[in-house]
Structure 1
Amino acid sequence: MAASIKDVAKEAGVSIATVSRVLNDVDVVNDDTKKKVVDAIKKLGYRPNIVARSLKTQKTSTIGIIIPDISNQFYPEIVRGAEDVANIYDYNIILCNTDMDVEKEMEYLKVLREKMVDGVLYMSNSLGKNTIELINKLEIPTVLVETIDKDNSFPSVVIDNEQAAYDAVKYLIDKGNNKIAYIGSDEENFNAAALRYVGYKRALREKDINLNPHLVHFGGMKPNDGYEGILSILNEAEVDAVFCAGDEIAMGVINALREKGIDVPNDIEVVGFDNIYASEIFYPKLTTVAQPMYDMGSVGMRMLIKIINKQSIEEKHYVLPYKMIERNSTKK
């Protein structure tokens, strides 16, 4: 039979109220008494009744993490960073994968509210008006990772996606390319990938290169989107380089080019985005924009835990550094 709080109190020679104070980290118990209670807990193998405790404290020590695509190597690395920090502060994680489905995102938010999570770390394919209204209605402390809302009302952890894309495209232009294709998200989608298209256009504009709509393909972030995207573009226009809004897109592009007998990087240079694990073992190894994925998760989780515990946060919007990683999909 499992030990009860009454058993712990008897073993430690204290009242049930004192054991409760120790469990809830109330600073009115002296160190000697606290040690007796902790030793009794360990000896008896006592585990608090989480449901009863959460009803009393209105906290469950549980945090929901919502991600759009668990199969994309970008998101598990963020989750790892978040989970490592959550473990330090004794929080449990409920992971929700939405498959890029807005309705599924909203349903998960409702489920997490029913589970009485203390907060949500939120990554979204597109943070629309209805989703924002639901988050506000449910009154769940929320930190955005990898994306922002239009009004910057939620705390967030991102990189400067527009500037990073601008730097990547400028890098290709400076290498002598002027027929640079873009494959990725449409700017109508309010997400991180869409800002990369804005950066692509700005780099062309500042270098006096006209935007050729035949060099642009909007779609998803999977390898097949890159594969089909570059084949569609090649039917319409000449290409000397491709900027991809994600590494998986870039891998699909390279596979399609290889099948057509087009050499990367000698015939067409390719740049990806994210620096996922596979970008370094793919052939050819991808030149890409590296995001600090682990740090995005850990910083976001620290922010969220502070907010849950009503502590002040140093910054409401963290913009972390990125860097270009030069590998073999571009010329040296």
Structure 2
Amino acid sequence: MKKITISDVAKHANISKSTVSQYLNERYEYMGEQTKQRIHESIIELGYSPNYLARSLKQKKTFTIGIMVANILHGFSTKVIRAIEDACNEENIHTIVCNTDEDPEKEQKYMEMLQAKQVDGFIVFPAGENAKVYQRMLEQNTPLVFIDRIMSDLKIDTVLMDNERASELAVENFAKHGHEKLAVATPELKPYMTPRLERLSGFKKALQTNNLPVKEDYLISENLDSLQERLQHVFTMEDPPTAMLANNDLTLVEMLEFFKKSNIRLPDDISIIGIDDVPFANVYHPGITTIEQPAFKIGKKAAELLFDQINDTASEPEVYRFAPKLFERESVKTLDE
């Protein structure tokens, strides 16, 4: 079959080739609605597919961005990616998603591969230890936005949740229900893991603000593989906690599995709150009180910041924080009941 061209569309719509080109490049300033409708109908009827390679060569853009995600299994990451993809789709920009598994070498390999493909920019959940790579990208004026993690030595637009406020919401809710022995479980702390560090810091600050004791044995930081073993130690202590915060969705799953195997009942034996509004929170029995990260807002903002950089309309790099939201369900027991 003959390949349909812009000339074919122009002839079918009885409109100049340059007008069709302006339509395809979304330059509508002096184009009437009837003209746009005729071009649209001709494109559909003829089955025309734009030549993105020619468009890229002309505008010196590939209309493609790379998304580096640290762990695609996180529900938060999946939602953020979806929000970015939605925003890119509206701008006719393609996305390439790479999962780095928190591995700096893997991240660098993917970024070099995508740079070779001349993507227009990157949205990155930084795996850490690649500061020199990011700095080189900045020196090359490569559009770059971080999500979820701050690298304070680099001036890069960064979008994340107000993590300390998330922990504060949890502590306030536990305190409201009469709990004083509060624990928190988080994956292993690492210098570049901003959410983990800030949520733990916020937890400690909130305990002090609410005149509650800070007990080191209740501050649990472990690899997920060994988290249940640590929980076993905590819940066989003479004075175990009555309430516990799960730092993220994967931690919450490990906690729930441990409680089930150990016949620890929710909320009679332990009250829990999870950061990340996991899909099963509302259908689990009892319903799990969660703190939602505004993932779609974060993803959309990251995309908008990247578009500004690509289009040379960006302002000075900033850190943008979005407020968490508490969804109260049945997993927190009032102690005086």
TM bucket normalised to smaller: 0.7 to 0.9
Q: Secondary structure at the match of 2:198?
A: helix
Secondary structure in 1 aligned to 2:123? Answer: strand
Aligned to 1:57: 59
- Relative to structure 1, the CA distance from residue 127 to residue 168 in structure 2 (aligned partners, 3 Å threshold; closer, same or farther) is farther
Q: Which residue of 1 aligns with 2:122?
A: 120
1:48 to 40, 47, 50: 50
Give the partner amino acid of 1:309.
N
Q: How does 1:66-215 map to 2 (within 5 A)?
A: 66-126=68-128, 129-137=131-139, 139-151=141-153, 153-185=155-187, 186=189, 188-215=191-218
With structure 1 as the length reference, what TM-score do the two structures score? 0.84
What 5-or-longer segments of structure 2 have no aligned partner? none
Q: How does 1:4-15 map to 2 (within 5 A)?
A: 4-8=5-9
Equivalents in 1 of 2:42, 2:69: separation in Å?
A: 40
Encode CA deviations 1:47-102: one digit per residue, 9 max, x unaligned. 23322321231112212222122222222122222222222221222111112222
Structure 2 CA distance for aligned equivalents of residues 207 and 38 of structure 1: 61
Q: Does 1:283 align with 2:285?
A: yes
Match of 1:319?
321
**Aligned equivalents of 2:27 and 2:260: distance in 1?**
64
Deviation of 1:272 after TM superposition, in Å, equals 0.9
Count of matched residue positions in the alignment of Structure 1 and Structure 2: 330
Query: 1:233 aligns to what?
Result: 234
- Alignment-derived partner of residue 257 in structure 2: 255
The answer on whether the counterparts of 1:147 and 1:192 sit within 8 Å (CA) in structure 2 is yes
The answer on whether the counterparts of 2:149 and 2:192 sit within 8 Å (CA) in structure 1 is: no
TM-score by length of 2: 0.83
Superposed displacement of residue 309, structure 1: 2.0
Q: Give, as a single letter, the amino acid of the residue that structure 1 aligns with 2:232.
A: L
Q: 1:253 to 1:36 in 2, by over 3 A?
A: closer
* Shift in alpha-carbon separation, 1:263–1:9, aligned structure 2, 3 A: closer
Task: Classify the secondary structure of the residue corresponding to 2:203.
Answer: helix
Q: Are 2:3 and 1:2 equivalent residues in the alignment?
A: yes
Equivalences for 1:30-45 in 2 at 5 Å?
Answer: 31=32, 41-45=43-47
Deviates more, 1:273-282 or 1:164-173: 164-173
The change in CA–CA distance for 1:251 and 1:282 in structure 2 (over 3 A counts) is farther
Question: Partner of 1:113: helix, strand, or coil?
Answer: helix
Local SS of the residue matching 1:182 = strand
Structure 2 CA distance, aligned partners of 1:174 and 1:12? 67
Seen in structure 2, the aligned counterparts of structure 1 residues 257 and 27 have a Cα distance that, compared at 3 Å, is closer
**Which deviates more from structure 2 when the two are superposed, residues 236-245 or residues 60-69?**
236-245
CA contact (8 A) 2:156 2:317 kept: no
Mapped partners of 2:203, 2:130: distance in 1:
23
Structure 2: distance between partners of 1:35 and 1:271: 52
Percent identity of the aligned residues? 29
Q: Does 1:242 align with 2:258?
A: no
8 A Cα contact 1:225 1:249, kept in partner:
no
Q: 2:100–2:127: 8 Å Cα contact kept in structure 1?
A: no
Whole-angstrom CA distance in 2 between matches of 1:174 and 1:187 = 32
Superposed displacement of residue 216, structure 1? 2.3
Cα deviation for residue 187 of structure 1 reads: 5.8
Residues 244 and 271 of structure 2 are in contact (CA less than 8 Å); yes or no, is this contact kept in structure 1?
Answer: yes
After TM superposition, the structure 1 stretch with the greater mean CA deviation from structure 2, 209-218 or 290-299, is: 209-218
AA partner of residue 100 (structure 1): E
* 8 Å Cα contact 1:279-1:286 kept in structure 2: yes
Distance in 2 between residues matched to 1:190 and 1:141, nearest whole Å: 22
Task: Name the structure 2 match of 1:24.
Answer: 25
* 1:195, distance to aligned residue in structure 2 (A): 0.9
Q: Deviations over 1:196-238 (max 9, x none)?
A: 0111121233345453332222234x5x565344124335562
Gaps of at least 5 residues in structure 1 are none
Q: Decide whether aligned partners of structure 1 residues 233 and 129 sit closer, same or farther in structure 2, where only a CA change above 3 A counts.
A: farther
